[in-house]
Amino acid sequence: MPAVQVGSTTMHQCSKCGSSWLAPDAFSALCTEKDARGLVARATGCLPASAPVAHPAAVRYVHCPECSKVMNRINFAHSSGIVIDVCKNHGVWFEKDELRGVLDFVARGGMQQMQQSDDAQRAMQQRALGLIGPSLLMPGASGAVSFGSITMHVQSSDAQNATLRSLLDAIFH
């Protein structure tokens, strides 16, 4: 697969099957840097689309192009529904449309939604253990999330980037 330089992002793109290969640092930059994400989306035709990412009928295990080990299949951000192939040491393999799906998920605030869902699950677990009051996790009218008497405000872009970095650290380390 030939290397393609898009802004500061180096990636490998297959013109036959539409797959992409990104090193961990390049993928991290795409997830955390809006400008890099936009450049790659435009250059590769990964513009947001209304159609969901198509999933192949058969599960296919991909070997890392660098070390030849079978890569781990993971649901990006635990909730995106986009299964990507990851070699913790070398990078991420995207089948056709998966890169578009991940970029679109991040751009639509998917990481913020994932964080809110994780916070809600934590609150429900704490409630079940009796660590917080009996009120349910409810979004407040002002964009805040309440845990009993504790209110957390919707994440800023810095906090969203911290969530992304945390997820990417979990994927690659």
Convert the pLDDT of each residue in 92-142 to its tens digit: 999 988 988 888 888 888 777 777 777 777 778 777 777 665 554 444 433
What is the phi/psi pair of residue 114, to 5°?
-60, -45
Where residue 60 falls among pLDDT bands split at 50, 70, 90?
confident
Global pTM exceeds 0.85: no
DSSP letters along 9-37, please?
EEEEE-TTT--EEE-HHHHHHHHH-HHHH
**What local confidence, expressed as pLDDT, does residue 55 receive?**
60
Count Cβ atoms below 10 Å from residue 78 Cβ, excluding itself.
11
State the pLDDT at residue 16: 87
* DSSP, residue by residue, 57-119: SS--PPBPTTT-PBPEEEEGGGTS--EEEEETTTEEEE-TTHHHHHHHHHHTTHHHHHHHHHH
Q: Is the pLDDT of residue 64 over 60?
A: yes
What burial letters (b/e) apply to 118-148, b meaning 16+ CB within 10 Å? eebeebeeebeeeebeeeebeeeeeeebebe
Stronger pLDDT, 84 or 4, i.e. the higher one: 84
Intra-chain end-to-end CA distance of the chain, in Å: 25
Two structure tokens written together for 63: 């070997």
Lowest mean pLDDT among 49-53, 102-106, 137-141, 153-157: 137-141
